[in-house]
Amino acid sequence: MYSSFREAQEAQPSAQVVGANRPGHVWHVDLTTVPTSAGFWASWLPFSFPQQWPFCWWAAVVLDHYSRRVMAITAFKAPPTSEAVHNLLDGAIEKAGTAPKYLIRDKGKQFWCPEFKDWCDRKDITPRFGAVGKKGSIAVIERFIRSLKRECLRVILVPLHAQAILRELALFADWYNEHRPHTGLGGRTPAEVYCGMEPASQLARFEPRARWPRGAPCAAPQVPVAGNSGAIIRLEVCYQAGRRHLPIVSLKQAA
C-alpha cells in the first residue's frame, strides 16, 4: 500500500497545480516550531536537547486555501505523530461540517506514511504535495505562519503551560479570521470570504466633507454615503481579549 501511494505521488507532474475555487475545496496543513520563554537552544552533545518542550512548542495549523481562514490550530510538546495530526484534522472537519477535496502538505514523517494515506482514503481526500516556488501553493500557509510568529508569538512571552499557549493561539486565530483584512482578498477578512458575507469595505461609508456631493465617486471600492455629508466620525480601537498586539479598529459616527 505504501509503495503504491509513493509511486502515485511521484508519477504526478510537478507542474500540475491544484486551484481552490470555493471555500473548503483545498486545505493546507503544516507544522512549525515556536520557541518558549525558556529559550530555543541546545547544548553540545552528549547533553544536547531535542526540539521539544520546555524549549519549544510544535504548532500545527490547518488553513483553507480559498479564504485563508484558520480551520484549526494547536500546539504539541514534541513532534506530533501522524495520528495526532489527523485527529486535529478530524476535529476541523467536524467543526466545518465538510472535508476538503484536496489536502496540501509537505513530506514530513507525519504525512508521508501509510497511516496518513489510509486516513485520507477513509475521508475521500486527495493528498497533494505543496509546489515549492509556485505562487499560491505552500506560500499560503507559510505566509500565515510568518504572520503568526511576527504578529503574535514574537511580541509575547510564549507560555510554558499547555492551556496558556493554546489560548494564545486560539485568540490569534479568531482575530486573524474575523478582524484582519487581507490585501490578497481585496481587503476582506477570511471569515467574510469563507462565509460569503458582504465585506465591511463595501458597506455604505461616512463622508466627513460637508460640501462633497453624495453622488460623487470616491476612492475604490466606490460605495454610497451613509446619511448626509459632513459626518463627524471617531476612531475606536479595542483589543482581542485585552491583547495589545491584536487590535480591532472601527469607525463610528459621533453623536
Domain range list for the chain: 2-195, 203-253
Q: What per-residue confidence (pLDDT) applies to 92? A: 98
Taking alpha carbons only, the member of 112, 236, 254 closest to residue 179 is: 236
Q: What per-residue confidence (pLDDT) applies to 133? A: 52
Q: What per-residue confidence (pLDDT) applies to 220? A: 76
Q: Is the distance from CB of 145 to CB of 30 less than 8 angstroms?
A: yes
Q: Is the distance from CB of 90 to CB of 83 less than 8 angstroms?
A: no
Q: What per-residue confidence (pLDDT) applies to 47? A: 65
E runs forming strands in the chain: 26-35, 56-64, 70-76, 102-105, 126-129, 233-239, 247-253
The DSSP bridge pattern shows strands 233-239 and 126-129 to be unpaired
Q: What per-residue confidence (pLDDT) applies to 14? A: 42
Q: What per-residue confidence (pLDDT) applies to 11? A: 39
Q: What per-residue confidence (pLDDT) applies to 131? A: 60
Amino acid at 238: C
Whether omega for the bond prior to residue 54 falls within 30 degrees of 0, making it cis, is yes
The values of phi and psi at residue 6, to 5°, are -65, -45
Q: Which CATH architecture has domain 2-195?
A: 2-Layer Sandwich (3.30)
List CB contacts of 14: < 8 A, sequence separation 6 or more: 131
Q: What per-residue confidence (pLDDT) applies to 251? A: 86
Length of the chain measured in residues: 255
Mean pLDDT for back-to-back runs of 10 residues, the chain (255 residues): 42 56 95 88 68 92 97 97 97 97 93 94 92 64 96 95 97 97 91 93 86 81 85 93 96 82
Q: What per-residue confidence (pLDDT) applies to 226? A: 86
